Structure 1
Amino acid sequence: MHNKQVVRQIKGIDETLNNYTEINEWRQDKIVRVMTDHQKLNELHDSIIENTVKVAMKKVQSELGNPPAPFAFFLMGSAGRFEQSVLSDQDHGIIYQSHDESCQSYFLTLGAEITNGLSETGYELCDGQVMASNPLWCKSIRQWEEQIVDWMEDSSWKSLRHFSTFFDSRVMFGETSFLTEIKNYAFMILNEQPRLYKRLVENVDFVKKGIGVFGQLLPEQYGEESGAIKLKQTTFFPYVNALRLLALKENILEPSTLKRFEQLPVSLQSFQSYEKDFRRLLDFRLQHRKHAQSYKDVHLIQINSLNREEKQTLKQLMKKGYKLFDETKTIIEKECSTW
């Protein structure tokens, strides 16, 4: 019974797609129609992932039976923020409601099958293994709460990076309340230990500069990326990191950068002016990287492929991102000084 309820929550499924090969062919047919529309493109990604998970669930259930406990499968990274480009890698996890350690075996098997399925339907494996096939990202609610505490207490660069990755998450299907419960637990810890905000700022404080002292774009100088701007590191990160920090500060559950802009309190309304810049950045990436051949190439833009106007647009978007991040950092550091 529980299994049927979970499947009904998968809203984007196409019952005619019965295996990963069919889903991949369906993906290739559909994606060319939405390459220039950020909203429709990400809705399609959701549908592809949902269909893939449906097939993975059926396969695991046929071998191991129904899930032993209620659970949630959630997305992180650009998928969690609803900010995927034409190509994307995998970032996902599982939360299950059980204190029985034997449950983890089932959900790790499910996570591994989902990981394999997504790989076959066009989503590259995550280099950092941020996937539900990894025990670090497949846990019970209690284990997840313990993990949040461990990350916060450790406060190392790696631990806080893991926490930030986790926070940019949304449930694809299953029990949405599980993820909400864990995020609210994280808010409680931050509210009790506000010094952690400063560490979170420091964790993302380094921004790879894409503009030189004379106002010129700074491409990579060596190797196969020579002559290219790393759009993700130089331009996306300042916006994404700033809004994540503000979301943590204001207890905003929403993972989407655009939604986070919308939910900022009145006291931070001035920050909402940057929303249009982030929308322009999303469109800019689709315009110039819609025909990228790999996930790595999605965020690499060769300078010689841009005309003068496009270069100016890119520099403006970078400058706005740097300004947004600096203003965010100033606000949080100012408040930290009073704690």
Structure 2
Amino acid sequence: MKESASIPIDLSSIHSAETSSELRLARWKEENKLLQLFSSVPTEDWNESVNRLQDEVMAQAISICERELAEAGAGVPPVPFAFVLFGSGGRQEQTPWSDQDNGLIYADGGGALADSYFEQFGLSLARVLEEVGYPPCKGKVMVSNPMWRLSLADWHTQLAGWREELRWEDVRYLTIASDLRFVAGDGTLAAKWRNDFMRLMSRNEELEAALLGNTVRHKAALNVLGQVITERFGEHAGEFDVKYGLYIPLVNGIRCISLYYGINESSTQERILKLHELEAFPRPWLDALRRAFVKALKFRSLTNRYTEDGVLLGDSYLTQETLKQKDVSRELRESLNTVRQLYRMLQRQHRFAERRLP
């Protein structure tokens, strides 16, 4: 894994943890150290360190899970496997309070024995991760869900089915899958999965229209006067939802463009860099996208957070007090304006793509 030059992390307590409770405590201590450094280091360096820490914690959780299964008489993994992340974890954009978004790829040839073992493994690992402090994914994109825990051959069948049908839900699953990133186990399985996925996603008019249609439903949270749209009702009235108002529209738009250009990378930062290399768009515009994305990462870590039972938890809202800060207000409006320009372009492409369909 990539080392962070700016923020050293003490991983010894993570690697020595033998139970989920020990790992939970070690994770909490390191996350609190990182939170104390948030305002004094570049956002990108801080984000990198947070995600490196999460990767190490999850890898150790896998070791604990394997040992517990062996002690319970389930044996050892019958074939190699790759533990992978989707969502913000796949894009290396997790916060200390992100939930689970994960899956499993295991080698072919294990038959019913492998299916049975990895069913137990998936259920056990999801439990261990929850005990360590990762809430279950509300959308059930988890290793405990058989849809996201398959052999390499079965993954191909599932991906090919989504690619063939291209219903709204199928396109949603394909976009989730496009963020896959290997974390632990056998990296060659993840590499084979990625190569297969990119072949299946080779460009055509029907796929382009489907991806764009799935993406443009999100819009920047600015009104016609250029004012930030905050929550109108409920406990978050007057607050701004960073996740769905800024971060998700930005990430989704950049992902859509990247898939169109056949970009293999899963992180938003790397996707923007590849678009630069391909000279897909004018450099000033891509620079504006990158600035907006870095600001989105920053704002996500300025949202409400609290500790409960030794676990950092948080939501996705900027408080009214935070929004009153001049720098935050200005940077938020600039970022949302960039997202609005991005979606105007995507909407034009969507209309054009639909007109080209037979």
Of 222, 232, 244, the residue aligned with 1:233 is 244
CA distance in 2, matches of 1:248, 1:332: 14
Note if contact 2:216-2:346 (Cα within 8 Å) is conserved in structure 1: no
Note if contact 1:85-1:298 (Cα within 8 Å) is conserved in structure 2: no
CA distance in 2, matches of 1:224, 1:333: 38
Note if contact 1:115-1:133 (Cα within 8 Å) is conserved in structure 2: yes
Residues 114 and 140 from structure 1, CA distance in 2 versus in 1: closer, same or farther, beyond 3 angstroms? same
**Residue in 2 that maps onto 1:70:** 80
CA distance in 1, matches of 2:165, 2:82: 26
CA-CA distance at 1:291 after TM superposition: 3.1
**Residue in 2 that maps onto 1:205:** 216
Give CA-to-partner distance per residue, 1:168-207, whole Å, 9 cap, x none: 1111112223223233323323326441121011112112
Q: 1:284 and 2:299 equivalent? A: yes
Give the unaligned 5+ runs of structure 2.
Answer: 1-10, 39-45
Of 57, 73, 76, the residue aligned with 1:48 is 57
**Residue in 2 that maps onto 1:3:** none
**Residue in 2 that maps onto 1:253:** 264
Note if contact 1:91-1:131 (Cα within 8 Å) is conserved in structure 2: yes
SS state at 2:318 partner: strand
CA-CA distance at 1:308 after TM superposition: 4.7
CA distance in 2, matches of 1:262, 1:85: 22
Give CA-to-partner distance per residue, 1:187-233, whole Å, 9 cap, x none: 32332644112101111211244222222222122223322221111
Note if contact 1:119-1:125 (Cα within 8 Å) is conserved in structure 2: yes
Q: 1:303 and 2:320 equivalent? A: yes
Alignment of 1:75-90 (within 5 A): 75-90=85-100
Alignment TM-score, normalising by the size of structure 2: 0.84
Note if contact 1:292-1:298 (Cα within 8 Å) is conserved in structure 2: no
Alignment TM-score, normalising by the size of structure 1: 0.88
RMSD: 2.4
Aligned residues: 327
Note if contact 1:76-1:165 (Cα within 8 Å) is conserved in structure 2: yes
CA-CA distance at 1:297 after TM superposition: 4.0
CA distance in 2, matches of 1:107, 1:312: 49
Q: 1:115 and 2:122 equivalent? A: no
CA-CA distance at 1:98 after TM superposition: 1.6
**Residue in 2 that maps onto 1:4:** none
**Residue in 2 that maps onto 1:94:** 104
Give the unaligned 5+ runs of structure 1.
Answer: 1-11
**Residue in 2 that maps onto 1:317:** 335
CA distance in 2, matches of 1:74, 1:245: 21
Q: 1:170 and 2:184 equivalent? A: no
Residues 229 and 282 from structure 1, CA distance in 2 versus in 1: closer, same or farther, beyond 3 angstroms? same
SS state at 1:210 partner: coil
Residues 236 and 109 from structure 1, CA distance in 2 versus in 1: closer, same or farther, beyond 3 angstroms? same
Note if contact 2:105-2:151 (Cα within 8 Å) is conserved in structure 1: yes
CA distance in 1, matches of 2:19, 2:347: 47
CA-CA distance at 1:38 after TM superposition: 1.5
**Residue in 1 that maps onto 2:29:** 29
Note if contact 2:99-2:136 (Cα within 8 Å) is conserved in structure 1: yes
